Amino acid sequence: MIVRATGIPLAIYPYSSTSHIVHWLTRHHGKVSTLLKGAMRTNSRFPGEYELFSTSELLYFAKSNSMLYTAKECSLLQRRSAFRTDWRAMQTASYLAALLNKTTPEDAPHPELFGLYEELLDLAENFGGHHQFLPWAELQFADTHGHAPNLANCVLCSSETDLKFCASQGGVVCSPCSKHRKLPTLGSPPDVLSILRSWQQAGSPASVVKTALTGRQRTEVNSIASTFMLYHFNLNPLHRAAALAA
């Protein structure tokens, strides 16, 4: 069966000395892997038609007994050029690609997730160089997965005072509940929780990247975000650290 799909490469690997294997996130077919035969030859059928973070239209043969499909045609629809020159934004986009690649199973269509990835890449071209962008993007990602952390009140008793972040409970817990249940919590003073709440509500990063953070707030925001991403999406904090070190 020949399938036509809109997709964005999540990872590109060499295969043999002349071909590429590309893992794509596609709009309607979820994550698919394709072999692009002869992609590295000078007379390749695919020159410049796919690259990381850019959207392409792809035509491939899908076989039911294989997880690796053969690409037939590929044409670039939208190049996101900012990532070629803005190294910090590119590191952010790399992290998002790693996040999507790690958390998306093969052949599990999730058009809303594709839409989010597309939107986050578009936004990362403009805002991805700001350190506030990544935690904001992670909050959007968690929301799309139905794992938006509850930052408003204790997830166990609904108390609104004396709250601390607890990754395993998927949000904040109050001091009495955390003591009673011996829950591990993270340093999360009210000012930091309030920043995260406002970012969670922000539909666009334009205002988010203008939030001035002290060194302490920045450390605590990232500690909460990385612990949450590790716990809920099993994402190695090293990916995150690499993006933020940029």
User: In this structure, are residues 124 and 93 in contact, taking their beta carbons and an 8 Å threshold?
Assistant: yes
Q: 17: which strand partners?
A: none
Q: Is residue 209 at the binding interface for Zn ion, with CB under 5 A as the rule?
A: no
Q: Is residue 154 at the binding interface for Zn ion, with CB under 5 A as the rule?
A: yes
> For the stretch 5-15, what's the b/e string if a residue is b when 16 or more beta carbons lie within 10 angstroms of its beta carbon?
bbbbbbebeeb
Closest separation between CB of residue 183 and Zn ion, Å? 10
Q: Is residue 235 at the binding interface for Zn ion, with CB under 5 A as the rule?
A: no
Q: Which is nearer to Zn ion, 74 or 174 (CB)?
A: 174
Q: Is residue 160 at the binding interface for Zn ion, with CB under 5 A as the rule?
A: no
What residues contact residue 216 under an 8 Å CB cut-off, 6+ apart?
none
Q: Is residue 192 at the binding interface for Zn ion, with CB under 5 A as the rule?
A: no
Question: What span, in angstroms and rounded, lies between the C-alpha atoms of 155 and 157?
Answer: 6
Contact residue for Zn ion among 2, 108, 157, 241 (CB under 5 A) = 157
Closest separation between CB of residue 142 and Zn ion, Å? 21
Q: Which is nearer to Zn ion, 19 or 188 (CB)?
A: 188
Q: Is residue 241 at the binding interface for Zn ion, with CB under 5 A as the rule?
A: no
- Ranges of beta strands (E only) in the chain are 2-15, 19-26, 30-36, 55-61, 68-78, 163-166, 171-174
Contact residue for Zn ion among 142, 174, 221, 224 (CB under 5 A) = 174
Q: Which is nearer to Zn ion, 129 or 171 (CB)?
A: 171
Kindly state the number of chain residues that form the binding site for Zn ion, as judged by CB under 5 A: 6
CA 35, 38, 39, 44 dihedral sign is: negative
Where does this chain bind Zn ion (CB under 5 A)? 154, 156-157, 159, 174, 177
